[in-house]
Amino acid sequence: MQELDPTILQKANAWLDGNYDADVKQEIQTLLDNKSYTELTDSFYRDLEFGTGGLRGIMGPGSNRINKYTIGAATQGLANYLKKKYPGEKVKVAIAHDSRNNADLFSRITAEVFSANDIYVYFFKALRPTPELSFAVRHLGCKSGVMLTASHNPKEYNGYKAYGADGGQFVSPDDTAVMDEVAAVSSVDDIKFNRVDANIEEIGEEIDELYLDAITKLSVSPEAIKRQKDLKIVYSPIHGTGITLVPQALERFGFENVILVDEQITPDGNFPTVIYPNPEEKEALTLALKKAQDTDADLVLATDPDADRVGIAVKNTENEFILLNGNQTGAMLINYLLSAWEEKGKLTGKEYIVKTIVTTNLIERIAEAKNVTYYNTLTGFKYIGELMTKFEGKQTFIGGGEESYGYLIGELVRDKDAIVSSAFIAEMTAYYKDKGSSLFEALIDTYVQYGFYKEKLISLTKKGKTGAEEIKEMMEKFRTNPPATLGGSKVATLKDYEKGIETDLLTNTTKKIELPTSDVLQFITEDGSIVSARPSGTEPKIKFYCSVNGKLANKEAYYDTDKQLDEKIGSIMKDLGV
């Protein structure tokens, strides 16, 4: 029979004896009475780590769960950091939340703790998207912001994203400074929960107006939209915050035929119509795809619960709806933006785009052809935001993104933005339709011109303490014993971003990687295939990103070439043992 580790029992008893609410104590006691030792272990085996992006975890009682006290400790630590960073200043923060269960409660607790620490709070009185929170931080001159969300995780999860004064998530050295302050909150008694009403101001529609006006001014092809204003767009917010702004953004851009997925427009943290509220998953778009087929739509858009990521579906040459992956959408957006800017004579040589190291190199080929500077960053949009802040006023950011369905156009925010992206994906569709092409046909044309790049992501879920150990062992094995060949081609280069070293395995020479350290490995073969291995920073997963490429002779060769590249990915993953 399973025994409870004495250290777990000690931590559970500390909560039973501590200054915690009676209902929390009752939940813990019930777990003890029922001998629910696995759940107790997962709830208490560690303190939920405030990482570089904040908190994310399963809701429930315990030090390794999202609850009033872990949210309170995170906020107290962030408040302590802000008071030290800006001594003598009246510090302001903005707070928003998405549609998740308890997100409104956790946002109120966050506001109360800040207010009790004499920090002024702009508090969104109802749910709002993550990008609007970033916009509000910048517009209102805040030193920080907090978004209560667990993005696209299942309904059991919630989370806490912390932002700096530039509207981006914290980066070095501030991220570790915040983490240290949060870690220093060692007792529930260190947390100030007593609300100060005078330090909290509610905001809402007035910020919506400012944000919508600003993104509408970014439109590059208004005349194409005018001619294609009846473009049929099916949109689903998947029970999230996108409903507050996406339909309005599309309307302001000039689209008059937006069809909503009625079953999914009501915000609901139980996400009742989907298994997983993730626009990367075809299942999450089932209702939207059906609506698109029934209405013969041109485009399907679906945003995740906090509306920072967007998935799309388009018709292929067989008139069937297919989902584009994040690499395809990102590449098409960059190609459209650079083409439209070029046509309007807006490219001056000072513009740039940004992608992450695991995002398709097709974007690089497009930027090179257009003579536009491109940058690669580590995975995580905060690094794109950091670069934007660094270049603000010196160079012009056109757009950027990452393969995980997060994109940004323009410099209004410092995080991925599904509101502005949805509007621009619709604008891009109108632009190509105006030229007599579907978005899918335009994608194939892009492959013919720049090379056929195909990517696949494989995620392995490893939950709990044992899962974390397994992921660590896998990374160590790949680090010390890199594969010799992948898909029949020699592995020529190993990039170890944790060590900051790139090794040419053919000559055994090394050079430094000019990026911050991160637990990522990349294997690059002689024929240009790339595999990246990376533990997720927000989920109990290890992710393998595979990218292959080849020439596409003509449009007619698309399906055969697509099949060949698929087989190559399969061969590479088999060699990798994934």
Looking at the domain assignment, is residue 225 inside a domain?
no
Structure tokens at 380: 């995580």
CA-atom Rg of the chain in angstroms = 24
- The per-residue pLDDT for 112 is 98
Structure tokens at 369: 């052809």
Q: What kind and span of H or E run contains 502?
A: strand 501-504
Report the CATH number at residue 97. 3.40.120.10
| Residues whose CB falls within 8 Å of the CB of residue 43, separated by 6 or more in sequence, listed in order | 12, 31, 60, 61, 62, 63, 64, 65
Is residue 131 within 8 A of residue 413, CB to CB? The reply is yes
Residues 278 and 401 reside in one and the same domain: yes
Catalytic residue numbers? Answer: 151
Residues 380 and 457 reside in one and the same domain: no
Residues 404 and 501 reside in one and the same domain: no
List C-alpha distances in Å: 153 to 127, 257, 276, 332, 333. Answer: 17, 31, 7, 26, 26
Q: Is 532 left (phi over 0), alpha (psi -120 to 50) or beta?
A: beta
Is residue 576 within 8 A of residue 525, CB to CB? The reply is no
Is residue 121 within 8 A of residue 114, CB to CB? The reply is yes
User: Which of 535, 529, 540 has the alpha carbon at shortest distance from 575?
Assistant: 529
- The per-residue pLDDT for 578 is 84
End residue of a domain, out of 147, 173, 208: 208
- The whole-angstrom separation of Cα 334 and Cα 348 is 17
- The per-residue pLDDT for 463 is 81
Tell me 370's DSSP state: T
Could you read off the pLDDT of 169-187 as tens digits, one per residue? Answer: 999 999 999 999 999 999 9
Residues 84 and 96 reside in one and the same domain: yes
Residues 167 and 89 reside in one and the same domain: yes
Tell me 59's DSSP state: B
* Domain residue limits at 278: 231-450
Angle ∠(101,103,109) on CA atoms, nearest 5: 135
Structure tokens at 225: 């939209």
Residues 56 and 184 reside in one and the same domain: yes
Structure tokens at 70: 């872990």
- The whole-angstrom separation of Cα 216 and Cα 322 is 28
Query: Taking the model in full, what pTM does it have?
Result: 0.95
Residues 239 and 384 reside in one and the same domain: yes
Q: pLDDT by residue for the chain (578 residues), tens digit each? A: 468 999 999 999 999 999 999 999 999 999 999 999 999 999 999 999 898 789 999 999 999 999 999 999 999 999 999 999 999 999 999 999 999 999 999 999 999 999 999 999 999 999 999 999 999 999 999 999 999 999 988 999 999 999 999 999 999 999 999 999 999 999 999 999 999 999 999 999 999 999 999 999 999 999 999 999 999 999 999 999 999 999 999 999 999 999 999 999 999 999 999 999 999 999 999 999 999 999 999 999 999 999 999 999 999 999 999 999 999 999 999 999 999 999 999 999 999 999 999 999 999 999 999 999 999 999 999 999 999 999 999 999 999 999 999 999 999 999 999 999 999 999 999 999 999 999 999 999 999 999 999 999 999 988 877 888 889 999 999 999 999 999 999 999 999 999 999 999 999 999 999 999 999 999 999 999 999 999 987 678 899 999 999 999 999 999 999 999 999 999 999 999 88
Is residue 328 within 8 A of residue 420, CB to CB? The reply is no
Residues 111 and 252 reside in one and the same domain: no
Beta-carbon count within 10 A of 556 CB: 9
Report the CATH number at residue 497. 3.30.310
Looking at the domain assignment, is residue 502 inside a domain?
yes
- Identify each DSSP E strand in 89-136 by its residue range: 92-97, 120-124
Looking at the domain assignment, is residue 326 inside a domain?
yes
- The whole-angstrom separation of Cα 251 and Cα 258 is 8
- The whole-angstrom separation of Cα 254 and Cα 259 is 14
Angle ∠(484,447,313) on CA atoms, nearest 5: 100
Q: How many domains does the chain have?
A: 4
List C-alpha distances in Å: 551 to 325, 555, 564. Answer: 20, 11, 11
Residues 397 and 249 reside in one and the same domain: yes
Residues 445 and 461 reside in one and the same domain: no
Positive or negative, the CA dihedral 480, 486, 488, 493 is negative
* Three-class SS state of 316: coil
Beta-sheet pairing, 521-525 with 452-461: unpaired
Is residue 440 within 8 A of residue 321, CB to CB? The reply is no
Tell me 66's DSSP state: B
Looking at the domain assignment, is residue 189 inside a domain?
yes
Structure tokens at 473: 């062992």
For 377-408, give the DSSP string. Answer: E-SSHHHHHHHHHHHTTTSEEEEEEETTTEEE
Looking at the domain assignment, is residue 561 inside a domain?
yes
Helices (H), 381-527: 381-391, 418-434, 439-450, 464-480
Looking at the domain assignment, is residue 226 inside a domain?
no
Looking at the domain assignment, is residue 215 inside a domain?
no
* Three-class SS state of 301: strand
Is residue 319 within 8 A of residue 342, CB to CB? The reply is no
Could you read off the pLDDT of 499-508 as tens digits, one per residue? Answer: 999 999 999 9
Residues 443 and 503 reside in one and the same domain: no
- The whole-angstrom separation of Cα 24 and Cα 233 is 46
Burial of 573 (0-12, 13-18, 19+ CB in 10 A): middle
The gap between the terminal CA atoms of the chain, to the nearest Å, is 34
Tell me 169's DSSP state: B
Beta-sheet pairing, 157-163 with 144-148: antiparallel
End residue of a domain, out of 141, 174, 208: 208
End residue of a domain, out of 420, 450, 480: 450
- The whole-angstrom separation of Cα 309 and Cα 418 is 5
For 275-287, give the DSSP string. Answer: SS--TTSGGGGHH
Looking at the domain assignment, is residue 469 inside a domain?
yes
DSSP count for the chain of H helices, then E strands:
18, 23
Residues 146 and 252 reside in one and the same domain: no
